Structure 1
Amino acid sequence: MTFVQLIECRTSRFDEMNRLMDTWVEQTKGKRTASHSVIGKDRSDASHFVEIVEFPSYEEAMRNSKLPETDRIFQEMVALCDETPTFTDLDVVRDEALYAANARRFFEIAASPGELPPLDGLVAENYRDHDPSNEQDTTGVDELRREVGTWRSGFDFGFVIEDQISEGDRVCTRWTWNATHTGDFMGLPATGKRVVMTGVTIHRCGDDGRIAEAWWQYDRLGLMAQLGALDALER
């Protein structure tokens, strides 16, 4: 579950604090776990600042807090404040931007090289997948892993996200799939051919942000034609 921390402080030395944060960012490059950070200034009180820091999870936030650089910078930050900063820890229970980000991450993970990473932090346990190319819906994370594995064993591929629209708990993504046929797929041995396919996927996300359901539409017939699977039918 995505985790957000609010840090509030009062200071008349914000420029110095800003430079201090730049130092922390440089010192923790490649180690910090925050995914997004925003600092705002109170319009009615120029000395009141609020930082909003987003993490993939509470556990990642704790890893970030335990970095030696974080502790050192925090002590220096406190010295620049007029009073001790306050912290508010929040578990995100709804975030439409998170839904779109998770849908995009799904495509990135599906196309990632090497062993398929875990999906339980991204996909709900009772996930349901609607693909008109399959006789039955894919249900559950394990079945989804097998379905994605079928494509990964047949192709080296990547997605280009062309458009993405988010509304409520649904995210619609229009994508282009670029691939090389490197292994057996639907009984067709590897051809080494480079192929392209377009499609649209609608994801439904739960309150925790995880993907709970998906509907797919894509040009599978066009893909099979590019692989030469329709040649015998045309003779």
Structure 2
Amino acid sequence: MSVEENKSIAIAVFPAAWNHGDFGPAEKYIHPDVVDHFDDSRGIEAFKGVITGFRSAFSDLQLTVHHEVAEDDLVVHHWTMTGTHDGAFQGIPPTGKSLTWTGITIVRIAGGQIVERWANVDVLGILQQLGVVPPPPAP
């Protein structure tokens, strides 16, 4: 597959799933046994579960892809996510707070499907915004 085809696959999957809960593109373009190195999970159902969990905790969840870079079989997305914490998240009761966090996701595509995913997510920033972890001291 070409780099452009790989980019088309990645951009078709992630905004649809995160922003709208639309897993149609994921069903088509994610291998059933996809390996997610972020949480050491395997399979498309685990992928769907992560997104469903976030969408139930942040009802207005919005993913914005700022940059998309691709080479060979890898596609990288630099993104921002926003949402209002109005549902339980990782055992944290709703706070009503509006959050913004960033991340970078890398996927490897083989045979027209995403077969691996790596992610670097600002989890500390999420926890600080939720008030679970104190913010760093002011300079």
Q: Does the 8 Å contact 2:34/2:44 carry over to 1? A: yes
* CA-to-aligned-CA distance 1:35-94 (integer Å, 9 cap, x gap): xxxxxxxxxxxxxxxxxxxxxxxxxxxxxxxxxxxxxxxxxxxxxxxxxxxxxxxxxxx1
Counterpart pick for 2:4 among 92, 97, 110: 97
Cα distance in 2 for partners of 1:178, 1:214 equals: 21
Aligned to 2:98: 194
Q: Which segments of structure 1 move beyond 6 Å, counting only runs of 4 or more?
A: none
* CA-to-aligned-CA distance 1:114-144 (integer Å, 9 cap, x gap): x54333202011101011xx3xx11011121
Q: Does the 8 Å contact 2:15/2:64 carry over to 1? A: no
Determine helix, strand or coil for the equivalent of 1:120. Answer: helix
Cα distance in 2 for partners of 1:165, 1:116 equals: 23
* CA-to-aligned-CA distance 1:193-227 (integer Å, 9 cap, x gap): 111101111110012x2111100001101111001
Cα distance in 2 for partners of 1:147, 1:185 equals: 11
Cα distance in 2 for partners of 1:138, 1:148 equals: 13
> Which structure would you say has the larger RCO, counting Cα contacts within 8 Å and 6 or more residues apart?
2
Say if 2:92 is the partner of 1:185: no
Aligned to 1:117: 23
Determine helix, strand or coil for the equivalent of 2:61. Answer: strand
Q: Residue type of the partner of 1:99?
A: N
Q: Residue type of the partner of 2:51?
A: V
Aligned to 2:129: 226
Cα distance in 2 for partners of 1:116, 1:184 equals: 21
Identity of aligned residues (%): 30
Cα distance in 2 for partners of 1:117, 1:201 equals: 18
Q: Residue type of the partner of 1:153?
A: S
Say if 2:61 is the partner of 1:157: yes
Larger-gyration structure (1/2): 1
Determine helix, strand or coil for the equivalent of 1:204. Answer: strand
Aligned residues: 133
TM-score, normalised on structure 2?
Answer: 0.87
